[in-house]
Amino acid sequence: MPHKHFIYLVLITISLFILAFLSFLIQPRYESSLKKGEVIFKNIENQLSDIKEINIVNNRKKISIIKKEDSWHMTSKSGYKVKNEVVRKNLIQISELRFFEKKTKEKSLYSRLDLDYLNDEDGASKLISIINNDKKILVEFILGKKKKNGVYIKKIEDKQTWLTSGILDMSSVDKDWLETRIFNIDYQDVKKVSINHLNKKESFSLTKDEKNENFLIDSLPKDQIPKSDLIANFIGYFFTNLIFEDVVERKDIIDNKFLTKINFKLFDDINIFAIIFNKEKEKEKEEDKDKDKWINFNIDNESFSKLNDKKKIFVNNIENWSYKLPSTKNNISDTKLKDLLVED
C-alpha cells in the first residue's frame, strides 16, 4: 500500500512539473527578452513625421493634441495653437527612452510608482497614447513618477514596470503645451495709448515724445502736474512679456460690463483695440469677482497684415479668443488718471 501511494505521489509530481513547464512555454516572451539599454519604443523613431495625435489622460482631465497640416492644436482647448517645438521635444524624448531597471510586477505596488492609472484619484498617473495618420496606435503606456535621469513606465499589455534611462515631460498642464505668447511688441513699437474707464474722469491718453523715449499725458491742464516725467512709461510695456494665464473661446462683452478699454497705436499706423473684463463664474464669491481679468483683442485687417508681416503676432485668429491676463498686467489696466498726477 505504501508503495502504491509513492507511485501516485511521483505521478502527481511529474504532472505538476509538466504543467508548470507548459505554462512557462506559452507565456509571452517579450518581457523576459527585454534587456537593459534597449530602446523601448522602436516603432516611433522613424515615424515622427507621420504622427497625427497625442493624448495625455489622467483621472482628472484629458489633453488631446492633433496635427493640422504643419501645426499642432489642442482639441481639448477648442483647437488653440500648440508650440511645435514642445511637441517635437516630447516625441523625441519618447523615441529615446531606454530600459534601465526592472521594477515591480505586483499590481498592489503600482501606486508607489504612480503607475496605478485606473485607481489614481490624484491624477499623478498618466495614460499616454501616440496615434499616426492611419489612426493606428503607435505607442501606448502609463507614465509615472520622475527620477533625475529617468521615469517610471508600464506598457499597457505588460505587468512589468520599468525605470527608464531618458527623461520625459508629457505635462498634463495646458499652458506647458499652448503657445502662450500673443504679440512680439516692444516698448519702442508703441506710439500712443488711450485708456478708457467707465468713469470718463478716470480716462486718459498718452503719446510718445519725438525721441521715442517717454510717454506724455495728452491735454493735461496746467493745474495738473505729473508725478514725474517717467510716470506713464510703464503703460507702454503692456505687450512686453505678455503671456496669458488661460484661453477660452471668445466671450462677447455687453458694453456696460467692461472694466477698461485700451486703444494702442503703434508706429506704421497699426491699431490694436483691447477690452478688459471679468468673466462671470457660477457661484462666484463676491470677494473674488475682481481678481481674474480677461481681455479681448480686436485688430483691423490692415493692422493684422502689418503685424503678421513683421512677425509681431503669434495668433492667426485672435478675434476668436478671450485671454486671462496675468496679474502682472493688472497695474496697467487698472491705472486711472489720478494715479499719474501729484495729489492736491
Cβ atoms of residues 40 and 164 within 8 Å: yes
Model confidence, pTM: 0.82
For residue 131 the three cell numbers come to 496615434
Question: What is the bridge-based pairing of β-strands 190-197 and 321-324?
Answer: unpaired
What pLDDT score does 32 carry? 43
Residues shown for the chain: 344
Rounded alpha-carbon distances, angstroms, from residue 77 to 99, 114, 146, 310, 327: 34, 26, 26, 28, 22
- Show pLDDT as tens, one digit a residue, over the chain (344 residues): 556 666 766 667 777 777 666 655 555 444 445 567 899 999 888 888 899 999 999 988 999 999 998 899 999 999 999 999 999 999 999 999 999 999 999 999 999 999 988 787 777 899 999 999 999 999 999 999 999 999 999 999 899 999 999 999 999 999 999 999 999 999 999 999 999 998 999 999 999 999 999 999 999 988 899 999 999 999 999 999 999 999 999 988 766 678 999 999 999 999 999 999 988 755 545 455 557 899 999 999 999 999 999 999 999 999 999 999 999 998 888 999 999 999 87
What pLDDT score does 20 carry? 64
C-alpha closest to that of 91 among 117, 120, 54? 54
Residue 334, burial from CB neighbour count under 10 angstroms (0-12, 13-18, 19+): middle
What pLDDT score does 141 carry? 97
What pLDDT score does 28 carry? 47
What pLDDT score does 43 carry? 85
What pLDDT score does 255 carry? 63
Distance CA 176, CA 57 (A): 15
What pLDDT score does 30 carry? 45
Cβ atoms of residues 294 and 182 within 8 Å: no
Angle at CA 336, nearest 5°, toward 241 and 297?
45
